[in-house]
Structure 1
Amino acid sequence: MEHRRSLPLIFLFLFISLLSLLGSAQAYKNYTVGDSLGWYDNTEKSNVNYQKWADAKNFSLGDFLIFNTDTNHSVVQTYNFTTYKLCDYDDALDSDTKIWSAADPSNTATVAVTVPVPLLKEGTTYFFSSDYDGDQCNNGQHFKIYVSHGKGLPDSLKSPSEQAPAPNSPDYNNDESAPDIVVPSNFNNPQGGDHKNDDDDNVKKASGSASLYVNSIMVLFAYFCELL
């Protein structure tokens, strides 16, 4: 009778362990910035709130941000709080700021573009559009996120130089604390909703381990059922 009373606890432990293992096999994520609203200032999309959008997400190394916008808006990433606050990258350093997509406001032939941005460094990072002397940024086209370590960078996004990771909590007002933004030479754009190919071998291994674990649980379940 004693072993029967302990069965629920045993299966609860096995179930929790299985969930933990399955969670580790999840693919890296792609996040479409603004979802269906795309990447625009609130003079074009009056209900944009990118900070609210970002605050509801959990970002990790190896994830991608997908900016759906046009050639009249830029995509700027910076680790420099001053650059972000000014909505201007003219005096920014190449080591802490990257222009993923530069706009040409003088070009009347606006073309839709999709800009994928990999999250390569831990800590706080900022995004904005600085065109029209910062008007787009001041009109809502900006947000900040915190990037956790997560599973770490997949091999396809690692820099050949194997740079040291950025500090987890960079000093917002200290330019010297910002890590360099270096895009790996073998950088590939994500495919589909989850870019599973970035770390395909690890995902397959984890999935295989999960399958083995499920089989083990089934065997144990059959064994305990015989004891009842």
Structure 2
Amino acid sequence: MFTISGAEAYKNYTVGDKLGWFDDLQTPEINYQKWVDGKNFSLGDFLIFNTDKNHSVIQTYNQTTYKLCDYYDATDDTTEWSSAQPAVDNTAVTVAVPLLKEGTTYFFSGNYDGEQCQHGQHFEIDVSHGAGLPPDLKSQYSSGGGDSPGPSASTSGADDQSTPDTVIPSNFDKPTDNGNAKEASTSAAVVGGGGGLGPMGVVVVVGWAWMVW
């Protein structure tokens, strides 16, 4: 469980709010860059992606990779937080991504040769220092070992909602090789089976699952 002092300094942002993380062919009203407007992202915040197994979550610090909607030739500045099934799979899943580095970072779905990204499933944000990384998250980021802490539901501005499965990658700062891009982990903590973020914001880890479905 991820706990921090001064939790009011950190926020959990649900990407797309109630619309979730999908391309505009599936959800025409989506505009993720417009969703970003007016928000202040800082180190230690989490982005919560509510999506399904047919859409992936790719993070990159490389603008060229982002513009091409293609992570297959990306280097170690790109992380695949969740991959998608080669066949259509609408099983709901939530991916929690911590903001670990200051500056501009980009997110997109890399499925179908970049088609989902080209159809609106992408955005960029600027991450400020804010209060800096909280101790638990900072120790994970610097060491690359142990279990990844999940987002704190007691943070201010938390707008995430529970979904059937929550995937919180482990060893997120030192991902393993997955082709040319880097995958966040081969294992993930799962919050599900009636779990999720409870009314008091308690995250209950009930098991382990493979990140690559």
TM-score range, shorter chain: 0.5 to 0.7
Matched position secondary structure for 1:132: helix
Task: Tell me the distance in 2 between the aligned counterparts of 1:161 and 1:127.
Answer: 19
Q: Is the 8 A contact 2:103 2:128 kept in 1?
A: yes
Q: Does residue 67 of the first structure (1) align with residue 49 of the second (2)?
A: yes
Deviation at 1:161, TM superposition (A): 7.3
Distance 1:27 1:101 in 2: 27
In the other structure, the counterpart of 1:172 is: none
**Does 1:133 find its partner at 2:113?**
yes
- 2:40 alignment partner, one of 39, 47, 58: 58
Which residue in 1 is equivalent to 2:102? 122
After superposing on structure 2, the runs of 4+ consecutive aligned residues of structure 1 that deviate more than 6 Å are none
Runs of at least 5 residues in structure 2 that lack an aligned partner in the other structure: 1-5, 158-213
Give 1:118's aligned amino acid. P
Amino acid at match of 1:104: Q
Which of 81, 90, 94 is equivalent to 1:110?
90
Structure-2 change in CA distance of 1:29 and 1:160 (3 Å): closer
Q: Distance in 2 between matches of 1:128 and 1:109?
A: 18
How do residues 154-165 of structure 1 correspond to structure 2 at under 5 angstroms?
A: 154-159=134-139, 162=142
- 1:26 partnered with 2:8: yes
Separation in 2, partners of 1:160, 1:193: 20
Matches within 5 A, 1:173-184: none
Say whether residues 1:96 and 2:57 are aligned partners.
no
TM-score, length-normalised on structure 1?
0.62
Q: Following TM superposition, by how much is the alpha carbon of 1:156 offset from its aligned partner in structure 2, in angstroms?
A: 1.1
Percent identity, aligned pairs only, is 63
The equivalent residue for 1:79 is 61
TM-score (norm 2): 0.66
Aligned length: 152
More helix by share: 1
1:192 aligned residue: 153
Q: Equivalent residue of 1:104, what SS?
A: coil
C-alpha displacement at 1:105, in angstroms?
3.4
Q: Which one has a bigger Cα radius of gyration?
A: 1
Contact 2:140 2:148 in 1 (8 A): no
Q: CA deviation at 1:188?
A: 1.0
The superposition leaves residues 26-49 of structure 1 with CA deviations (integer Å, 9 ceiling, x where unpaired) of 231000000000000000110100
Higher strand share: 2
Task: Give yes or no for contact 1:70–1:110 (8 Å, CA) kept in 2.
Answer: yes
Contact 2:47 2:97 survives alignment (8 Å): yes
- Partner AA of 2:40 in structure 1: N
- 1:149 corresponds, among 120, 125, 129, to 129
